[in-house]
C-alpha cells in the first residue's frame, strides 16, 4: 500500500533530502513549505526520478496557517500516514540576551508547530491503525549540552513532546525523535562534516518502522541512543 508523507521545511537541506528519499521509496510526498515557489527544484527532482509529490503552503509557526493547510488536504483526498517534523529555526547565541519575540518564534516553530501537527494528525492515524511521526531534534536538545539561544531549549521541548505524545498516540502510531548530527546546510554551515542525505537515512528508517518497532525513543544513524547523548 502506497503511503503519503508530509515533510515540513522540505524546500532545502535535510527536509529536501528526506522528501527525495521518501519519494524514492514509492511514497507520495507532501512538501510543507512557507513559499511553494522555493520548493520548485525539489519537486522537479522528485518528478524527474518518477516520484509523486505536491506542495502545501504552510507556516508551522502560525496555528491558523497549519489549520488551513491541513484542511486543504481533505478536498484532495490526501490522508497523511507519515509526518516528518523537520522545519526549525536557530535564533540568537545567548538566551539571557535574546529578544523575547525571537524566543517565542523559536518556540512556535521548533516545538509548538510540531505539536499542533501531531495533535491534528495522530488521532486520524490511530483511527486508520497506522502512523509514523519523526521529530527532527538535535544533540543540542540534551539537557547536558544545550545549544545556543532558543534553539537548545526548544529542541529539549520537542524531545519531551516526543515522549509524551508517543504514550498517548494510540494503536499503530509510532512517534520518535532523531539527531541528524552536524549537517552541511544553511543552518549547519559549510564546515559541517555530514551531508543532508546521511541525516535522511535515519528519517526514512523511522518513517518505515515495522509494526513491532519502537516508539517514544531517540535515534542517531538508525541506532537508538539515550536522551542525553
Residue-wise pLDDT for 14-43, tens only, equals 999 999 999 999 999 999 999 999 999 999
CA 98 from centre of chain: 25
Beta bridge partner(s), residue 69: none
Q: Are 14 and 196 in contact (CB under 8 A)?
A: yes
Q: Are 147 and 137 in contact (CB under 8 A)?
A: no
Which helix or strand (DSSP H or E) is residue 55 part of?
strand 52-57
Q: What is the mean pLDDT of the chain?
A: 94
Residue-wise pLDDT for 114-148, tens only, equals 999 999 999 999 999 999 999 999 988 898 888 99
Percent of the chain with pLDDT over 70: 97
The set of cell numbers assigned to 173 is 502510531
88 phi and psi angles, rounded to 5 deg? -160, 160
The set of cell numbers assigned to 25 is 521509496
Q: What HEC string does 6-21 produce?
A: EEECCCCHHHHHHHHH
Among this protein's residues, is 130 annotated catalytic? no
74 phi and psi angles, rounded to 5 deg? -60, -50
Residue 80 scores a pLDDT above 80: yes
pTM of the model: 0.95
DSSP-based three-state secondary structure for 60: coil
> Mean pLDDT across the stretch 170-197?
82
d(Cα 163, Cα 31) in Å, to the nearest integer? 25
Among 97, 130, 151, 218, which one carries the catalytic annotation? 151
Beta bridge partner(s), residue 28: 4, 52
d(Cα 115, Cα 67) in Å, to the nearest integer? 13
- Indicate the class that CATH gives domain 4-225: alpha beta
d(Cα 84, Cα 164) in Å, to the nearest integer? 17
Beta bridge partner(s), residue 199: none
- Return all residues near 41 (Cβ < 8 A) that are at least 6 apart: none
Q: Which residue has the cell 486508520?
A: 128
Q: What is the pLDDT of residue 184?
A: 67
Amino acid at each position: 500500500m502506497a503511503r503519503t508523507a508530509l515533510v515540513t521545511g522540505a524546500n532545502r537541506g535535510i527536509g529536501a533530502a528526506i522528501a527525495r528519499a521518501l519519494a524514492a521509496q514509492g511514497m507520495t510526498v507532501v512538501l510543507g513549505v512557507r513559499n511553494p515557489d522555493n520548493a520548485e527544484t525539489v519537486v522537479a527532482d522528485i518528478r524527474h526520478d518518477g516520484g509523486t509529490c505536491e506542495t502545501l503552503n504552510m507556516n508551522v509557526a502560525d496555528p491558523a496557517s497549519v489549520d488551513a493547510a491541513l484542511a486543504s488536504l481533505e478536498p484532495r483526498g490526501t490522508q497523511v500516514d507519515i509526518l516528518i517534523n523537520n522545519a526549525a529555526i536557530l535564533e540568537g547565541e545567548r538566551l539571557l540576551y535574546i529578544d523575547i519575540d525571537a524566543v517565542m518564534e523559536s518556540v512556535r516553530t521548533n516545538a509548538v508547530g510540531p505539536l499542533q501537527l501531531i495533535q491534528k494528525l495522530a488521532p486520524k492515524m490511530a483511527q486508520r491503525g497506522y502512523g509514523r511521526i519523526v521529530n527532527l531534534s538535535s544533540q543540542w536538545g540534551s539537557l547536558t549540552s544545550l545549544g545556543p539561544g532558543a534553539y537548545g531549549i526548544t529542541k529539549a521541548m520537542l524531545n519531551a513532546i516526543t515522549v509524551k505524545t508517543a504514550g498517548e498516540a494510540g494503536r499503530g502510531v509510532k512517534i520518535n525523535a532523531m539527531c541528524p548530527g552536524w549537517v552541511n546546510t544553511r543552518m549547519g554551515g559549510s564546515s559541517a562534516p555530514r551531508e543532508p542525505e546521511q541525516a535522511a537515512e535515519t528519517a526514512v528508517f523511522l518513517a518505515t518502522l515495522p509494526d513491532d518497532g519502537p516508539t517514544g525513543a531517540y535515534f542517531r544513524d538508525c541506532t537508538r541512543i539515550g536522551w542525553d547523548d
